[in-house]
Amino acid sequence: MLLEARRISKQYRSDSTAVTALHPTSLRIDNGEFVAILGPSGSGKSTLMSILGLLDRPSSGEFFIDGRDSATLSDDQAAGLRNRLIGFVFQSYHLLPRQSILHNVELPLLYSGVGRAERRERATQALTAVKLPHRIDHLPSQLSGGEQQRAAIARAIVTKPAIILADEPTGALDSATGWEILQLLIALNRVGRTIVLVTHDVDIAHQASRIISIRDGTIVSDQSAAAARAAAAAAETMEQCDAAA
Amino acid sequence: MRPLDYLSTAAAAMLANPIRTCLTMLGIIIGVGSMVSMAAIGAGAQAQVQEQIRSFGANVLMINAAVRNQGGIRTAGNIRRPLTIEDSRAIAELPSVRAAAASVAGPAQAVHGGRNWGTVINGTTRDHFAIRGWQLASGRLFEPGEEAGGGKVAVVGSLVARRLFGDEDPLGRVIRILNTPFEVIGVLKEKGSAAGQNQDDVIFVPLLTAMIRLIGSANAVNRDAIAFIMASSKSDDSMTAAIDDITSLMRQRHGLTGNDENDFTITTAASILAAQEASTRTVAILLGAIAAVSLVVGGISIMNIMLVSVSERTREIGLRLAIGARPRDVRKQFLLEAAVLCVVGGVIGVLLGGLTAIGVAKFVGWRVLLEPQVAAVAVVFAGCVGIFFGYYPARQAARLEPVMALRTD
Ligand SMILES: Nc1ncnc2c1ncn2[C@@H]1O[C@H](COP(=O)(O)OP(=O)(O)OP(=O)(O)O)[C@@H](O)[C@H]1O
Ligand SMILES: [Mg+2]
């Protein structure tokens, strides 16, 4: 299995107060899954995703990625794993504003020590895969939000990582554009990538094959999308019955 | 990450904000520029001194009467004595001395036909030419009869010959100096300038002629007083002996005993060099201090801007860390940015400093000498300043936590 969390928790400490963003939580994500992490704002979705993506370390508990205990990883090793194993997609794209789209997409390869010519070739391929092959010399600001997010996805897949962690990738986009981005992630899942999609939008979460619901730092449900749909339908029926009564 | 990729990343960051990049480099540009231009001016001055020494002659001594001590207490027995022709003859007799020649000198107008030229008249003996290494381009030097009999003959420097005669041959022609006609018997080879003075702008006449007809004696009281004595030692090695011999001879002739101060000075190429070296050293220390201060100020401004840049680019750093940059990659990136800033600033500083030096040379008329080693050292030093002052901001950047950095807006 790819990701395994055993009773991980996260506290943020400021001078006097300590905020618990994540209560002890266990979960496993296998190769090839498409998991949505669903929850309202402030529920701890991003916190969980940061730990899954080795951007942060849990305050307690154990986290294994690709069979390796994250506690034993040095900063440099964690950087190497992020580079090879994980692709990140953020709500605000996080493209470098003063560099071309092509250069932005090449960036992860820079840190894997790939040479110039190969970088260019692979970045072009990735941009073709996200259907953005024609605007590679533009600056991010010259692109629409949807196009910028496509570029960010190209950057996430350019190292051919096993996992893509997407934190609210459609959050800044209108629903039609958001839908296109979602189709892109679904397509990536079809060719074997593991996708972890963080969202507060139930409709989007239902495109995944598995939905983990989180509230106030605790997982409240973890079920297949089909089961989740059934549960939602049942809840709706109940409401209608109540209303009728 | 490959070395060249670090460099292009640094270059891209610098080009992203060109105005700020230029302002950041300003301190370094000024520091290196002043360092280089001052070094060029200093080296030029030194070259000039060396040339002066070369033209003075390594085994040449010049004896002058000492300048009277202003405000010093002087008793009747200590009245300064001028140098005389007799002093010169006695010096010439010394075993360590090859030759000695007395001189008087003063400004005068020389006229030939319609042309008129203000120059220096130097009355001296024929030994003077051998001592100073003057060579004839044409004609001859004074003959003993002309020297003893106050002959009205002149040996002219090449510049004077050009000014008074143009393309004509001056030999055998008559020039008028203070209304006295002189026959030109010799023209000297060109010697060039030393200490900012054209040495070829001179007319030599026999000593007695100059003292009787043109300049008079160097002292109103003593009719035998002359202005200075040029002498040469037997060889370069006997310079010290010559100085000692002349000193004791002159003290004896001037009746100085015990602790009496010398009433004359002896100048040699070595003594000019020593004086010049002392002042050059002072200037070098001063310039070094200016350059060091401006480079430190430049370095601090680099550090300041780099710290601003790190906090401004927190999101960029966070992203780079997220996609696989190691902390040391981030550190190297910022360190290299600082170094590149300083090196580029250093190169611009060298160019501007060179231009300044050339400008100074043009307008003030100083000699400047831009040595490539100085330029190289300045640029390398600027790079070191960048690494030194860039280290702290770079470390701050590398220490950022990826999550925190990504959250920053
Ligand atoms: N650095 C921090 N310091 C203190 N508290 C933090 C920090 N980061 C997150 N928190 C808190 O932890 C909780 C969970 O935050 P998190 O960002 O994981 O929520 P989220 O589910 O991603 O919300 P959103 O949908 O708004 O992004 C919040 O209450 C937040 O205020
Ligand atoms: Mg979030």
B128, B157 Cβ separation under 8 angstroms: no
> Out of B5, B315, B401, whose CB is closest to A110?
B5
Taking residues A182-210, report their average pLDDT: 94
> Out of A75, A76, A108, whose CB is closest to B323?
A108
Mean pLDDT of chain A: 93
Whole-angstrom distance, CA of residue A101 vs CA of residue B44: 53
Using CA atoms of A110, A114, A116, A121 in order, give the dihedral in degrees to the nearest 10: -100
CA of A119 to the centre of ligand 1 (A): 35
User: Is the model's pLDDT at A120 over the cut of 90?
Assistant: yes
Q: Is A232 in the pocket of ligand 1 (CB under 6 A)?
A: no
Write down the pLDDT at residue B74.
Answer: 47
Taking residues A125-135, report their average pLDDT: 92
Write down the pLDDT at residue B278.
Answer: 75
Whole-angstrom distance, CA of residue B206 vs CA of residue B41: 40
CA of A55 to the centre of ligand 1 (A): 14
User: Is the model's pLDDT at A189 over the cut of 60?
Assistant: yes
Write down the pLDDT at residue B261.
Answer: 83
User: Is the model's pLDDT at A225 over the cut of 90?
Assistant: no
Yes or no, beta carbons of B9 and A110 under 8 Å apart: yes
Strands B228-233 and B60-65, by their bridges, are antiparallel
B45, B367 Cβ separation under 8 angstroms: yes
For residue A189, the Cα-to-chain-centroid distance in whole angstroms is: 12
B321, A79 Cβ separation under 8 angstroms: yes
- As for how many domains chain A has, the answer is 1
Taking residues B69-93, report their average pLDDT: 68
Minimal C-alpha gap between A203 and chain B (Å): 26
Whole-angstrom distance, CA of residue B302 vs CA of residue B291: 16
Write down the pLDDT at residue B221.
Answer: 65
Q: Which residue is listed with tokens 């002659």?
A: B57
CATH code: domain of residue A205:
3.40.50.300
Question: ∠ CA B228-B226-B161 to the nearest 5 degrees?
Answer: 75
CB atoms within 10 A of CB B376: 12
Yes or no, beta carbons of A96 and B319 under 8 Å apart: yes
Counts for chain A of helices (H) and strands (E), in that order: 8, 10
B401 touches chain A (CB under 8 A): yes
Q: Is the dihedral of CA B100, B102, B105, B111 positive or negative?
A: negative
- H or E element, residue B120: strand B115-124
Contacts of B402 in chain A (CB under 8 A): 55-56
Q: In the 8-state DSSP scheme, what is residue B15?
A: H
Ligand 1 binding pocket mutation candidate from A46, A51, A204, A214 (most atoms within 8 A of CB): A46
Residue A4 CB contacts under 8 Å (≥ 6 apart), including other chains: A27, A28, A29, A63, A64
Band (A221; pLDDT cuts 50, 70, 90)? very high
Taking residues A85-110, report their average pLDDT: 94
Write down the pLDDT at residue A180.
Answer: 92
Contacts of B398 in chain A (CB under 8 A): none
Yes or no, beta carbons of B323 and A115 under 8 Å apart: no
| Residue ranges in B261-371 assigned as alpha helix (H) | 269-312, 314-322, 327-364
* ipTM, interface predicted TM-score of the complex: 0.93
Q: Is A42 in the pocket of ligand 1 (CB under 6 A)?
A: yes
B72, B197 Cβ separation under 8 angstroms: no
Whole-angstrom distance, CA of residue B133 vs CA of residue B383: 49
Write down the pLDDT at residue A53.
Answer: 95
Yes or no, beta carbons of B327 and A90 under 8 Å apart: no
Q: Please state, in angstroms and as integers, the Cα–Cα distance from residue B313 to each residue in A153, B21, B231, B279, following that order.
A: 22, 15, 74, 50
Yes or no, beta carbons of B315 and A108 under 8 Å apart: no
User: Is the model's pLDDT at A6 over the cut of 90?
Assistant: yes
Whole-angstrom distance, CA of residue A136 vs CA of residue A154: 11
Whole-angstrom distance, CA of residue A143 vs CA of residue A154: 14
Domain that holds residue A218: 3-244
Which of A189-203, B61-75, B116-130, B132-146 shows the highest mean pLDDT? A189-203
Minimal C-alpha gap between A40 and chain B (Å): 18
pLDDT (tens digit per residue) in B347-370: 999 999 999 888 877 887 777 788
Q: Is A10 in the pocket of ligand 1 (CB under 6 A)?
A: no
A29-38 burial by CB neighbour count: b if 16+ within 10 A, else e?
beeebbbbbb
Taking residues B400-408, report their average pLDDT: 87
Contacts of B319 in chain A (CB under 8 A): 94, 96
Q: Please state, in angstroms and as integers, the Cα–Cα distance from residue B229 to each residue in B90, B155, B217, B264, following that order.
A: 11, 19, 14, 11
- Residue with CA nearest ligand 1 atom 14: A44
Burial of residue B321, with CB atoms counted within 10 A of its CB: 0-12 exposed, 13-18 middle, 19 or more buried: buried
Q: In terms of pLDDT, which residue wins out, B280 or A18?
A: A18
Yes or no, beta carbons of A56 and B403 under 8 Å apart: yes
Ligand 1 binding pocket mutation candidate from A47, A57, A212 (most atoms within 8 A of CB): A47
3-state helix, strand, coil in chain B (%, to 5): 55, 20, 25
Find the range with the poorest average confidence among A113-117, B161-165, B284-288. B284-288
User: 0.80 cut: is pTM over it?
Assistant: no
Write down the pLDDT at residue B75.
Answer: 41
Token couple for A165: 């962690």
Length of chain B: 409
Helix axis angle for B85-93 and B239-253, nearest 10°, is 140
Backbone φ and ψ for B310, nearest 5 degrees, come out as -60, -45
B395 touches chain A (CB under 8 A): no
